[in-house]
Amino acid sequence: MPLTSADDIRDLLTTTRTIAMVGASDRSDRASHGVMAYLQGRGYRVIPVNPTLAGSTLHGETVYGSLPEVPRPVDMVEIFRRSEAVGPIVDEAIAIGAKAVWMQLGVINEDAAAKAEAAGLKVVMDDCPARAIPRLGVPKIS
């Protein structure tokens, strides 16, 4: 069952330090662009993942082509992709030892969520951490 209680989501956001953002965009009109900057401003390390932009820099971070290419442990994988594209991303999140997957607003994949949970990952669907942080009063990461 994906996390839905305010306390559970607040706890996830409070304990998370490093986020891999799959679907990060260099286009300022894309939600992922602004959300990445917001999360960095809140103290999170956000590592962008986008095969089209791999090797470039986004908001001061190197962009990687896939989750297995990210050279450091990741607490949470945030997914800015269509619902039907989530399955393979969850497989990679499990493989790299992520602790959680977060599917953005409008992104819902029950099968992928069940697979992640069965592997011990926490799951949030159809929400945005940039909205959840102020809504839940999550303190800035220091």
Q: State both tokens at 45.
A: 């390390």
Over the stretch 98-141, which tens digit does the pLDDT of each residue have?
Answer: 999 999 999 999 999 999 999 999 999 999 999 999 999 999 99
pLDDT value of residue 4: 87
Distance in Å from the first CA to the final CA of the chain = 30
Q: Read off the pLDDT band of 2 (50, 70, 90).
A: confident
Q: How many domains, the chain?
A: 1
Give the closest residue to 69 by CA, choosing from 94, 49, 41, 42. Answer: 49
Q: Is there a domain that residue 19 lies in? A: yes
Q: What is the pLDDT of residues 22-52, one digit of tens each?
A: 999 999 999 999 999 999 999 999 999 999 9
Res. 13 pLDDT band, cuts 50 70 90: very high
Q: Is residue 140 part of a domain?
A: no
Three-state DSSP state, 6: helix
pLDDT at 142: 79
Quote the pLDDT of residue 116.
Answer: 98
Q: Let me know if residue 64 belongs to a domain.
A: yes
pLDDT digits (tens, 9 = 90+) for 60-81: 999 999 999 999 999 999 999 9
Residue 1 lies in a domain: no
Whole domain around residue 71: which residue ranges?
A: 6-135
CATH number at residue 74: 3.40.50.720
Closest to 80 measured CA to CA, from 3, 26, 16: 26
Asked whether residue 20 is assigned to any structural domain, the reply reads yes
Residue 69, number of CB atoms within 10 A of its CB: 16
What is the pTM for the complete model shown? 0.96
